[in-house]
Structure 1
């Protein structure tokens, strides 16, 4: 099946709990950006960290997206099914000398100033009780964001050899997200501004793999009145599947749009059609965080 556009976007939640308003904003923003360009919109479940996952959350997230009319293209990809692909890439880098085993603790790194100084680069450790780090030989010191413009990355962070498989055997987010975005043909990543920091490392992975980089759009985060990100870890309330209209309109307002008041009583499909027709990145609030009044 051919599409009208080469644009492919995605929404990639972690199943650590039900969707909250902040994740609805991320889902809606990525959906509208894709559909306004006649592109594809995929859903990927980033279930890389079993200790943090909530039983049944993945299915609940998909049912919530359906209730809000956010229909995705193709099959849902689960990262938990892709471990062999991640490991194959790690093995290749280890064989080539582009990655190495590291046994440094978080405390040791903190004591060294908070940035990993390359202690194990030449230590020749074995896999036992070790993380795997990728050698960063060409640091990515900044990138262009479609909303925020040029974003500088602190030099020490940019130069740091980073973990691609944790000591406990779990695969690192940065590795998995890039390999999966490449595999799924993602052309642009639209996500929350909390993920600005790892973007340089992800761009570095594209370059290491010799693949074209995607473009990035980091949406403002919904934060509480005390400045904390609205998140599952901060016990953000789940969005109500029975009220898709008002919540979709509220999310559109958060994203700088002005839906007419009567739209709140329309069907999700009608609301999203209005949103696609009126979506414009230049209307997004030029900030990384917006305080949300949870009482409203």
Structure 2
């Protein structure tokens, strides 16, 4: 039986988040210490643990069928691999940073400047788009030190919290792109393995929908139902059940997590009581 080959980061935050989403979709992995390849017990899947920077080449060559990878790495080195789904974790930015004392006037500041980066393709494309000519110094690791040792006037690197920049006397001044983990697919995937990937993708979508949503139950007087239904449209419409207490009903619905507190406040103002909110593990539509 054919198995889908999927690559994930060998170590780091993306590694842990990748294993978590695979666990959340019900995939059990036989993974011993220091293994570079492991099989799933209950799904036709083989996992390859690779260096983040090596994954795009494995995708291009068809050695793996798919990968969970940072979008920034795929854009820099991805070739003809395509994104199937954005996964909503391991968010970061690829940004320009300069010494704190520098007066940054906009992207024109970069004209003729020396830029140190680990993302030459991304930076070159950005500069070309903005008609800026700069001198690139490609550095693998410790890019932040370049301005301090006189190697560069600016850097372009990954920014998460910004603490590393601060410690090295730098400030973020321009965002080139925003990135998150994505499920990517090789252009060389077989038809058989594409079907397996479709099943995995469906599971991912169900988990992601659940992570983005909350299940809400509340009690409300019947004369307030119409207004509360307007607040709580749900996936199609709320479920309404009569309560033993005359003139009252129970409503069940789903709300987006980003709208949670605003909706709760509005529900209370319009007569809702006994509001119960529960996390959703999976949501199959």
Q: TM-score under structure 2 normalisation?
A: 0.25
Flag the structure with more relative contact order, 1 or 2, with Cα contacts below 8 A and sequence separation at least 6: 1
Structure 1 length-normalised TM = 0.24
